[in-house]
Copies of this chain bind each other. A is one copy, B any other.
């Protein structure tokens, strides 16, 4: 049985101080139900990372199902740090494939603004190894900085070599009304950004924000009767790696990203050459460079070149971050993976407006947890 997307929904990403986590989830679910013209959902998979820590609310599955008007149905939370959204969709796909769940909804939701300051930084660092990294003060940005510095050392690069990732993301985000930041970024301003964790600046790091996105899936057979353009989930895979960077034999290679991309592409019968756009996990510019290499779009140590030579642009060889990516659309951690799939689906349906990649038929999405400790890859396609 093949699985296809019949509904998508999303909220804008920003600091939504007045909106509770249940409202955020509801807005995205409502939009997806409207899009699919159905309210007949059998199971909900909620992708979320931080509600327990920041909103003192666990048990989101039942809560969200009830608040969205679907009281009583099967519902659980799926967590894999900032790969929670992608992981939730993976469970929805497995559930439909099992034949026990006819229609499943994956909703990624993150409410960052129920807390502020150091507690948020500490909660986000729970994606790292708590005993061997975070306990010693390492933050997500700090881990990215270690990785970026090492990569620069290995390949003789400067900070300016990463500029293209953020310039591209902001250029695309400027055309996305739901993006957190719609300002363009000039390449020459990139190196002057305020330092977050040397060498990572504000212009390398994706801003965290509140947001929710939802995707409804069912069998392709049913989908064809329900919607004009069902988007097939042709491949789906999760792979993992150590959380701690020091436990990896090869620190400048995202092994889980490589493995999950390989499996998902193989399942879909698609090679990187056949991919029209790639929604990758640009939580930091270094993660974008490493993701391009791991997924097979660049040789080892050469992912950064694609940002220099324009290959990642809307009309380039492999467009990325087409609605702004994590960097400009914003990064609502546990929701991000679902945003990526919603955006890819809009591209394949030809509904991406000013962000449209012409003639897109095959999209790859990849959602990473922490420094790539988890990688969730999906291949989407339309006939």
Contact = CB atoms under 8 A, between A and B. Distances in A.
A131 B73 CA distance: 22
B52 A240 contact: no
A124 to B, nearest CB: 9
A76 B87 contact: yes
A94 B87 contact: no
Contact of A122 (B56, B131, B255): B56
Contacts of A76: 78-80, 87, 90-91, 238, 374
A172 B75 CA distance: 33
- As for how many copies of this chain the complex holds, the number is 2
Interface residues of A, number: 67
B52 A243 contact: no
Contact of A237 (B22, B74, B123, B239): B74
Contact of A73 (B58, B128, B239): B239
B55 A130 contact: yes
Nearest to A124: B58
A87 to B, nearest CB: 5
A117 to B, nearest CB: 16
Nearest to A334: B58
Nearest to A3: B98
A344 B65 CA distance: 30
Nearest to A47: B76
Given A62-B243, A97-B98, A126 B56 contact: yes
A288 interface: no
B20 A58 contact: no
5 contacts: A52-B126, A56-B130, A62-B242, A63-B373, A65-B240
Interface of A: 20, 22, 43, 49-50, 52-53, 55-63, 65-66, 71-81, 87, 90-91, 93-95, 97-101, 122-123, 125-131, 134-135, 236-243, 247, 255-256, 259, 369-370, 373-374
Closest 10 CB pairs of A and B: A97-B98, A57-B130, A62-B240, A59-B81, A58-B126, A74-B238, A62-B373, A77-B79, A94-B98, A98-B98
